[in-house]
């Protein structure tokens, strides 16, 4: 990797961060740092493109404390037009991430003893890809007396699946976190869909969400909003703290920036979980969260609460 390539990546990233990063002052600080790096050719020892991308990602996250910021390297040349997930990652890579191996995120769904429903959700796949699986899972779980959704290994995904799954836990449409987009100075509101395929679990039976420090992004969105709405009890350890949705921005024919241009705003708290994570209602070590939730679920069943 040449000095010219490194300088081009750094200068382009600096311009994008200054103009589009969701927190204006942080974006300006990041841009200043990258311009200093470019002027000094700080990364001259890194001739491997992947290593350069990893080092740059580490620096961006250290300064911003934003786990959504990242630079990635693509061996295939990226298009000069707007980058999409399909450009940054091949269809095969996307399929692997959203995972036929884990049933498009729905790793396991079953009815446990005492009629407790359990869903292990590994990723929030796009509803166009996983909507049928979501309907099958939630239709099965609708007959449970209590539900546990395990998000401890869920690193995020798509907000449309957040809204779809949340809809099964209510009887009517409910407001979710809005998204503020800095580049357009625009606020987009979000609600659960009024109609869902399959059966609803409904608004009255208990729901327990398991979280850990690995719970991130869209998984936190799901947990935070349901907690704020009083619809779920969150069990486990504080989550990772990523509330800044990102877009892919081309830096170079082979480098792309995952740039956080937006932030979530919950209509109830007027805040979000960025940097602080979702705080559990029942704080226990993550590896004990399932046992704790099962005990809570059995208790509500015994008491006749719904």
pLDDT band at 304 (very low <50, low <70, confident <90, very high): low
- 78-92, 103-117, 166-180, 259-273: least confidently modelled range: 78-92
What is the arithmetic mean of pLDDT over 8-22?
Answer: 96
Q: Is the pLDDT of residue 172 over 60?
A: yes
Considering only CA atoms, which of 125, 156, 150, 152 is closest in space to residue 242? Answer: 156
Between strands 116-121 and 146-150, the pairing is parallel
Those residues whose C-beta lies under 8 Å from the C-beta of residue 154, and which sit 6 or more positions away, are: 105, 121, 122, 123, 124, 214, 215, 216, 218, 219
Cβ(55)–Cβ(33) under 8 Å? no
Burial environment of residue 136 by CB neighbours within 10 A (0 to 12, 13 to 18, 19 or more): middle
Share of the chain above pLDDT 90, in %: 84
Q: Give the pLDDT of residue 300.
A: 78
Q: Is the pLDDT of residue 173 over 70?
A: yes
Cβ(174)–Cβ(192) under 8 Å? yes
Cβ(74)–Cβ(249) under 8 Å? no
Cβ(14)–Cβ(28) under 8 Å? no
Containing 15, the helix (H) or strand (E) segment is helix 3-20
Q: Is the pLDDT of residue 14 over 70?
A: yes
Q: Give the pLDDT of residue 162.
A: 98
Q: Is the pLDDT of residue 175 over 90?
A: yes
pLDDT for 107-150, tens place per residue? 999 999 999 999 999 999 989 889 999 999 999 999 999 999 99
- Cα 58 to Cα 72, 113, 143, 246, distances in angstroms: 11, 45, 46, 17
Q: Give the pLDDT of residue 200.
A: 98
Considering only CA atoms, which of 223, 236, 238 is closest in space to residue 275? Answer: 238
Q: Give the pLDDT of residue 87.
A: 47
Between strands 255-260 and 207-211, the pairing is unpaired
Domain ranges in the chain with CATH number 3.90.226.10: 99-242+277-303
pLDDT for 199-251, tens place per residue? 999 999 999 999 999 999 999 999 999 999 999 999 999 999 999 998 889 99
Measured in degrees and rounded to the nearest 5, phi and psi for residue 209 equal -115, 130
pLDDT for 80-96, tens place per residue? 655 554 444 445 555 55
At residue 242's C-alpha, the angle toward residues 239 and 243, to 5°, is 120
Domain 99-242+277-303 fold? 2-enoyl-CoA Hydratase; Chain A, domain 1 (3.90.226)
Q: Is the pLDDT of residue 170 over 80?
A: yes
Cβ(238)–Cβ(205) under 8 Å? no
pLDDT for 32-83, tens place per residue? 999 999 999 999 998 899 999 999 999 999 999 999 999 999 998 887 655 5
Those residues whose C-beta lies under 8 Å from the C-beta of residue 270, and which sit 6 or more positions away, are: none
Q: What is the pTM of this model?
A: 0.89
As a whole number, the mean pLDDT across the chain is: 92
Cβ(198)–Cβ(143) under 8 Å? no
Q: Give the pLDDT of residue 128.
A: 87
């Amino acid at each position: 990797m040449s000095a010219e390539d490194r300088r081009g990546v750094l200068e382009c990233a600096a311009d994008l961060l200054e103009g589009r990063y969701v927190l204006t002052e942080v974006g300006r600080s990041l841009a200043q740092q990258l311009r200093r790096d470019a002027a000094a050719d700080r990364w001259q020892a890194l001739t491997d493109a992947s290593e350069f991308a990893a080092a740059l990602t580490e620096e961006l996250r250290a300064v911003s404390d934003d786990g959504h910021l990242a630079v990635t390297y693509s061996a295939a040349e990226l298009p000069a037009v707007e980058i999409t997930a399909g450009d940054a990652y091949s269809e095969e890579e996307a399929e692997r991430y959203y995972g036929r191996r884990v049933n498009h995120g729905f790793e396991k769904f079953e009815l446990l003893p005492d009629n407790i429903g359990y869903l292990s959700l590994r990723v929030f796949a796009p509803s166009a890809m996983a909507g049928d699986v979501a309907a099958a899972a939630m239709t099965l779980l609708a007959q449970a007396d209590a539900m546990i959704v395990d998000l401890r290994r869920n690193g995020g995904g798509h907000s449309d699946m957040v809204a779809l799954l949340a809809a099964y836990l209510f009887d009517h449409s409910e407001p979710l976190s809005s998204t503020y987009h800095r580049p357009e100075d625009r606020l987009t509101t979000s609600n659960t869909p009024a109609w869902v395929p399959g059966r609803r679990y409904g608004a009255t039976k208990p729901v327990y969400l398991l979280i850990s420090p690995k719970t991130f992004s869209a998984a936190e969105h799901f947990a935070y909003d349901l907690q704020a709405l009083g619809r779920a009890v969150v069990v486990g350890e504080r989550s990772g703290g990523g509330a800044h949705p990102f877009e892919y921005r081309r830096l170079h024919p082979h480098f792309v920036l995952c740039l956080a241009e937006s932030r979530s705003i919950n209509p109830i708290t007027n805040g979000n979980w960025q940097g602080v994570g979702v705080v559990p209602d029942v704080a226990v070590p993550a590896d004990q969260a399932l046992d704790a939730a099962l005990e809570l679920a059995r208790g509500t069943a015994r008491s006749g609460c719904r």
